[in-house]
Amino acid sequence: MLKVSNLSISYKKINAVREISFEIREGEIVSLIGSNGAGKTSTMKAISGLIKAKSGSILFNGKEILGMSPTQIVSAGIVHVPEGRQVFSKLSVGENLQLGGYLTKDRKVLKERMDYVFDMFPILKERIHQKAGSLSGGEQQMLAIGRGLVTGAKLLLLDEPSLGLAPIVVEQVFEVIQTLQQNGMTILLVEQNALDAMAISSRTYIMESGAIVMEGPSEEVAENEEVKRIYLGGKETWVSSLHN
Amino acid sequence: MGFFTAQLISAIKLGSIYALVAIGYSIVYSIMGMINFAHGELLMIATFSLWVLMNAGIPFGFAVILAIIITVLFGIFIEKIAYRPIRNAGESTQIITSLAVSIFLEALCQAIFNSSAKALIIPAFFSKTFKFLGVTVSVIDVVTFACTVILTIVVVLIIQKTSVGKAMRAVADNPEAADLVGIDRNRIITVAFIIGSVLAAVAGILYSGKYTSFSNDMGFMLGVKAFIAAVLGGLGSLTGAVAGGYIMAVLEIFFSGYLPGGVASFQTTFTFIVLILVLLVRPNGLFGSNNWKRS
């Protein structure tokens, strides 16, 4: 569905991302993990058109999207749910969701998508008239994902969805991601929470200093001694404990 | 009592002009994070366009509409050629560029039409007067106030209710997130300039229509005062821009009317002193939130 080849991104003179290649197949969750500054967010921003890449290619369903504007990329069916939620805090929950449908002219389709989001996140329906900025962190994350879904995207780029959330809420977010996949969504997941990300994804890429240093099926990557040492620190989290 | 009422009515007339212009500053600021100091020049463009069109024999009503359209085209054009290339260049570059555009337009106008004062003759109907609460009021004063009320309501409805208005608020709230839902920011910025230009054109025509005499520097002082009104109300707030415009005019007119003869001509100085005091207490203006500042 998405094929990234030899993608390089640089800021001024610094190469943030160097010649990376990876692939996401329809219906799968792929996790992209790595330490801070490894280039994960830059990679996502290049896919969604927020920043320009230096070279490489990004094919979405066989079509080159590198160089397209963010608007064109959203129309093509990719939505980026950014780190730190980034909801429109002074607008109401309902308006935030409507703006997800900014490019959707068909009102009936828009209504269906809104209903789908309200089904998945009933709390958003309860808070529809509330300002988005007044929601809790977890609710804002649900709203950011919901707003992404209203765009009608086929590929969801989730940047650190669990960052800064309470453990119980993190659990809910990971459940939501799995539900979305079951409903047919394809997801690229960038996470600090490496173990949880690997537990729900089929394949994992590990990024270090702008390059992909390891890739493979998530359970294999998770078993790698080096990965365990660096990212997991031997800790168990809720998902891994379920798997034991 | 009669004097007070007369002063108040004068303040409402002047405040309406300030409010219309201040809204333009405020909208462009919230969408782009930039202060467009060339905004005042749009009043000049509208007035000169109207004057040229009327001299060419085009009927008043039609000429007004054309003048507004020409002003809007200028507004769009200024943003495209002068501001778009420096969109990400930092605040000081943007401020200097907009000042340069302002000076350029004023000088261009002088080069074409010279700097002498011109007379704008509007249909006699508008200068008809009648008594209101014992004060003589002319039709154009009523039209000025009515235009301000109607246009303000229209702008508020656009921003609150329409899809493009929601997108404008989204861009003002979080530009990057707006990109991510597919809002074309260039288009929204163009809409902001169109709205600002319409209001400035109407204000320019009403102002010149009232005072009948105008010249190429008419936009500068009006623009600066309206900008200060927008800051006083809280840049980025529509309510603030309108309130700021009227407060500004009330201060100016009342200082001029009630200060002793020797210092009354310093009304603008006194007005600015009050504004500085207000901003010392409320740095974000009367209606500004404290989170408007962009990174």
- Distance from the Cα of A113 to chain B's closest Cα (Å) equals 14
Contact list in B for residue A75 (CB cut-off 8 A) is: 182
Considering only CA atoms, which of B241, B278, B274 is closest in space to residue B30? B241
Does residue B148 surpass a pLDDT of 50?
Answer: yes
Does the beta-carbon distance from A98 to B166 stay under 8 Å? Answer: yes
Does the beta-carbon distance from B180 to A102 stay under 8 Å? Answer: no
pLDDT at A241: 46
Tell me the two tokens of residue B144: 């000025």
Q: What is the spatial distance between Cα A109 and Cα A120, in angstroms, rounded to a whole number?
A: 17
Does residue A40 surpass a pLDDT of 50?
Answer: yes
Higher pLDDT among residues B90 and A111, named by residue = A111
Query: With the C-alpha atoms ordered A179, A184, A185, A188, is the resulting torsion angle positive or negative?
Result: positive
What is chain B's mean pLDDT, rounded? 91
pLDDT at B291: 43
Does the beta-carbon distance from A50 to B182 stay under 8 Å? Answer: no
Does the beta-carbon distance from B166 to A75 stay under 8 Å? Answer: no
Residues B70-77 have a mean pLDDT of: 98
Q: Which residues of A touch B (CB under 8 A)?
A: 48-50, 69-71, 74-75, 79-82, 86-91, 95, 98-100, 102-103, 147-148, 151
Band (B295; pLDDT cuts 50, 70, 90): very low
Neighbours of B241 (CB within 10 A): 33
Spell out the domain ranges in chain A: 25-50+69-243
Band (B289; pLDDT cuts 50, 70, 90): low
Q: What is the spatial distance between Cα A177 and Cα A145, in angstroms, rounded to a whole number?
A: 9
Does the beta-carbon distance from B173 to A88 stay under 8 Å? Answer: yes
Cβ-proximal residues to B69 (8 Å cutoff; 6+ apart), any chain: none
- Distance from the Cα of A70 to chain B's closest Cα (Å) equals 6
Considering only CA atoms, which of B107, B99, B121, B104 is closest in space to residue B214? B121
Q: What is the spatial distance between Cα A114 and Cα A131, in angstroms, rounded to a whole number?
A: 17
Query: What would the DSSP string read from start to end of A117-168?
Result: HHHH-HHHHHTTTSBGGGS-HHHHHHHHHHHHHHTT-SEEEEESTTTT--HH
Torsion region of A181: left, alpha or beta (phi above 0 gives left; psi -120 to 50 gives alpha)? alpha
Beta carbon pairs, A and B, within 8 Å: 66
Q: What is the spatial distance between Cα B247 and Cα A68, in angstroms, rounded to a whole number?
A: 47
Contact list in A for residue B178 (CB cut-off 8 A) is: 88, 99
Cβ proximity of A57 and A64 under 8 Å: yes
Does the beta-carbon distance from A79 to B181 stay under 8 Å? Answer: yes
Contact list in A for residue B163 (CB cut-off 8 A) is: 98, 102
Considering only CA atoms, which of B48, B90, B94, B87 is closest in space to residue B70? B48
* pLDDT tens per residue, range B108-139: 999 999 889 988 888 888 888 898 888 888 99
Does residue A34 surpass a pLDDT of 80?
Answer: yes
Stated as kind and residue range, the H or E segment containing B95 is: helix B91-113
Q: What is the spatial distance between Cα A188 and Cα B173, in angstroms, rounded to a whole number?
A: 26
Does the beta-carbon distance from B169 to A90 stay under 8 Å? Answer: yes
Q: What is the spatial distance between Cα B209 and Cα B204, in angstroms, rounded to a whole number?
A: 8
Q: What is the spatial distance between Cα B27 and Cα B151, in angstroms, rounded to a whole number?
A: 14
- Distance from the Cα of B19 to chain A's closest Cα (Å) equals 24
Does residue B281 surpass a pLDDT of 80?
Answer: yes
Eight-class DSSP state of A10: E
Tell me the two tokens of residue A30: 């792929």
pLDDT at A41: 92
Q: How far does Cα B165 stand from its chain's mean position?
A: 20
State phi, psi for B161 to the nearest 5 degrees.
-105, -30
Residues in chain A: 244
Tell me the two tokens of residue A184: 């047919």
**Max Cα–Cα distance, chain A, nearest Å:** 52
Does the beta-carbon distance from B177 to A95 stay under 8 Å? Answer: no
Q: What angle do CA B183, B184, B190 make, to 5 degrees?
A: 125
State phi, psi for B117 to the nearest 5 degrees.
-70, 140
Tell me the two tokens of residue B69: 């359209």
Residues A153-167 have a mean pLDDT of: 93
Burial bucket for residue A63 (CB in 10 Å: 0-12, 13-18, 19+): exposed
Task: Tell me which fold the domain A25-50+69-243 belongs to.
Answer: Rossmann fold (3.40.50)
Eight-class DSSP state of B120: -
* pLDDT tens per residue, range B182-221: 999 999 999 999 999 999 999 999 999 988 889 999 998 8
Does the beta-carbon distance from A102 to B169 stay under 8 Å? Answer: no
Q: What is the spatial distance between Cα B171 and Cα A227, in angstroms, rounded to a whole number?
A: 41
Band (A14; pLDDT cuts 50, 70, 90): confident
Q: What is the spatial distance between Cα A18 and Cα A37, in angstroms, rounded to a whole number?
A: 13
Cβ proximity of B140 and B12 under 8 Å: no
Q: What is the spatial distance between Cα B285 and Cα B292, in angstroms, rounded to a whole number?
A: 11
Neighbours of B274 (CB within 10 A): 15
Stated as kind and residue range, the H or E segment containing B157 is: helix B139-161
* pLDDT tens per residue, range A217-236: 998 888 888 888 777 654 44
Does residue B78 surpass a pLDDT of 90?
Answer: yes
